[in-house]
Amino acid sequence: MPDTSPRLEVRNLVRRFEGTCVVDDISLSVAPGQVTCLLGPSGCGKSTTLRIIAGVDCQDAGEVLIDGHVVAAPGHFVPPEARGIGLMFQDFALFPHMSVADNIGFGLKATGSERTARVDKLLERVNLSGFGNKAPHMLSGGEQQRVALARALAPRPRIMLMDEPFSGLDNRLRDGIRDATLELLKEEGSAVLLVTHEPDEAMRMADEIALMRKGKIVQRAAPYNIYNQPADRRAAEFFSDVNVLEGQVQAGLAHTPFGEFLVPGVGDGTNVDIVFRPQHVSLDFDRNGRGPAPTPQHGTPARGIVHRARFMGRESLVEFTVAGGAMVKATVPAVFLPKPGTALWLSIRRDRCFVFSRGQVAPQDLPERAAS
């Protein structure tokens, strides 16, 4: 049975800078062999969280545990070098005066043949067998990155902390190196906490994503779940382009150009956002002002007038204006570029719509028709 008890545990971590709370009650745990991504926009507190776990910064409150032992808590601090943590940052800076093999072996206690065997194995695993005697400057950026990964993994760290480790690589190299890195990390069984601001990278690498905003974790879930059940509108927007229809609830229903949406348990007058992705809009031709019949899966279709259509490579993006003036974007596979002004009918997958409240409206603020 795999060991699923947390290797890394963070409890109620708080860090303030000049009175501002940049890490605000963060809790998370990572099991051996698991990759958790701290994902969020620039400045939301990802790196500060990582730095506290690494022991290069101190929290104002909360604690960090490794294998159940407290390494950072009020009045208790285990120094970074005694935490068994491997670090990998964007600026991974190999030692320029050392060979590739010496760089990889730098943190190893073992000597002689044991050390050589570990270095050779890692060179092989990062596809750099035969590169051991070269100097770092003789390697490409991607090769240097792989050496840095091998160096971080050489002492078999219990925990790997990675801060935007792939952002210095060009796009062509990045996907291959991400996949190879993930394979190696899984093989080594470290618990990995990876910081990134790129949703694609988190989706590709993570077993679990912890989505951060303004110092807080707003949602923790597996990539599939966080994409398909976002906690709020901004969580949905963080992962892809979305359409948003605004509505107000009356008698448990929100009225939109796409018909009524059931909003059970939400009070009258509540403003709601109905959020859906462009890939969940399907198109149909206009038949003398009529569209397809409503269905339970797609609800009521809405007539849309093409505002703009662009070819994006794999798909086309068509923007429409629908009744009431809302803009709706649809993606269509391959080339589909209708002229501006063309009328088409739009249907949305009801099961792919998210409805989020925007806060209650006081009864006196309701329009007369709704308040009566």
- Where does this chain bind ligand ATP (CB under 6 A)? 17, 22, 40, 42-48, 197
Query: Do the bridges between strand 191-196 and strand 35-39 make them parallel or antiparallel, or are there none, so unpaired?
Result: parallel
Q: How many CB atoms lie within 10 A of CB 289?
A: 7
The tokens for 166 are 């792939």
Q: Among residues 196 and 316, whose Cβ is nearest to ligand ATP? A: 196
Strands (E), 133-269: 159-163, 191-196, 208-213, 216-221, 243-250, 253-256, 259-262
3-state DSSP helix/strand/coil percent for the chain, to nearest 5?
A: 25, 35, 35
Q: How far is CA 57 from CA 16, 51, 203, in A?
A: 11, 5, 28
**Between vectors from CA 124 to CA 122 and to CA 188, what angle results, nearest 5°?**
40
Q: How far apart are CA 169 and CA 141, in angstroms?
A: 7
Q: Describe the strand order of the beta sheet including 315-322 as a list of residue ranges.
A: 281-285, 343-348, 302-311, 315-322, 327-333
Cβ closest to ligand ATP, residue 6 vs residue 40: 40
Pick the closer one to ligand ATP by CB: 17 or 311: 17
Residue 184 near residue 126, CB atoms below 8 Å: yes
The encoded tokens of residue 34 equal 């698991």
69-73 and 191-196 beta bridge pairing: unpaired
